[in-house]
């Protein structure tokens, strides 16, 4: 009898545990469902954010491509202010030391029969009459010596206002721009590859916008093309921007480089007026 009583008691205990377990399971179902729902909503948000990010990237890429197309049209329709193919006549000021420049050689050239040969640290510049420019671009063809450290391409007024500088860091393979707000260089493109060979000619084109509007818009970079690659720089201001466009009698274009072991060359300089102030 005692044994039967114990068996009945154990059976009732097991039944109570089974009922308790079942109730616990039933009570947990809504919690689990809430967790699963939250995870699904979270994953949907992640996917939505990823899609939004992809759309932003596509929009930026499309905008850059459209900017480049618009610039191509501007450049093709822009008027040439000055073209210098370095055909034997010195038309640039030479800054110190500048003792290793040859304007009349015919050892290597991009077009025709001459170019400027440089085998020392040097800077050349020349002024242009400050016409009512709004957007302008200037360009060079150039070669690279393996021992050069950098090349600087600059545009500025003779009072040093509205100054823009693009620097090619040849030792670290970087493209740098002079930030007009901080007056320091920063890198906007890593891992550029320029073949350092005297017979390999490269091309750079730099576009700036002198148009200004008081308290809202200041003179700024537009972009650059290096060989086949275009980089938009619209959000970066020139150094010492003015509020009335070009404020002096002339603008300067300059090219500066460090000393190399072997000569390097520049050719086919072009200054274009893309838009004029009305």
Cβ neighbors of 89 (< 8 A, separation 6 or more) are 103
**Can you give the residue ranges of every domain in the chain?**
1-77, 80-276
Please write the tens of the pLDDT for every residue from 13-56: 555 555 555 565 656 677 777 787 777 777 676 666 566 555 55
User: Do 131 and 276 contact (CB within 8 A), yes or no?
Assistant: yes
pTM for the predicted model, two decimal places: 0.71
Longest dimension (CA), the chain: 127
Element (H, E) at 114: none
Q: What DSSP character marks residue 110?
A: S
Please write the tens of the pLDDT for every residue from 229-274: 999 998 888 988 766 556 667 889 999 988 667 888 999 999 998 8
Q: Top-level CATH class of 80-276?
A: mainly beta
What are residue 18's phi and psi, to 5 degrees?
Answer: -65, -45
d(CA 254, CA 95): 10
Please write the tens of the pLDDT for every residue from 215-232: 556 788 999 999 989 999
d(CA 178, CA 136): 18
Q: For residue 2, count other CB atoms closer than 10 A to its CB.
A: 6
d(CA 228, CA 117): 24
């Amino acid at each position: 009898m005692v044994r039967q009583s114990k068996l009945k008691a154990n059976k009732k205990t097991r039944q109570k545990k089974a009922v308790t377990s079942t109730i616990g399971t039933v009570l947990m179902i809504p919690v689990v469902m809430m967790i699963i729902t939250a995870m699904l909503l979270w994953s949907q948000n992640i996917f939505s954010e990823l899609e939004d990010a992809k759309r932003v990237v596509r929009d930026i890429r499309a905008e850059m491509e459209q900017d480049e197309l618009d610039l191509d049209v501007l450049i093709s329709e822009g008027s040439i202010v000055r073209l210098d193919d370095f055909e034997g006549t010195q038309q640039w000021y030479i800054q110190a030391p500048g003792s290793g420049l040859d304007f009349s050689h015919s050892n290597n050239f991009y077009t025709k029969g001459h170019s400027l040969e440089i085998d020392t640290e040097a800077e050349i510049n020349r002024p242009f009459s400050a016409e009512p420019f709004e957007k302008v671009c200037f360009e060079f063809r150039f070669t690279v010596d393996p021992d050069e450290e950098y090349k600087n391409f600059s545009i500025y007024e003779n009072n040093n206002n509205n100054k823009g500088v693009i620097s090619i860091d040849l030792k670290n393979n970087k493209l740098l721009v002079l930030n007009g707000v901080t007056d320091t260089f920063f890198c906007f493109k890593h891992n550029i590859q320029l073949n350092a060979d005297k017979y390999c000619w490269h091309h750079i084109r730099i576009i700036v916008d002198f148009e200004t509007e008081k308290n809202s818009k200041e003179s700024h970079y537009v972009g650059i093309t290096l060989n086949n690659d275009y980089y938009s720089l619209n959000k970066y201001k020139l150094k010492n921007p003015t509020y009335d466009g070009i404020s002096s009698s002339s603008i300067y274009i300059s090219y500066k480089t460090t000393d190399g072991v072997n000569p390097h060359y520049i050719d086919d300089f072009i200054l274009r007026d893309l838009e004029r102030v009305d």
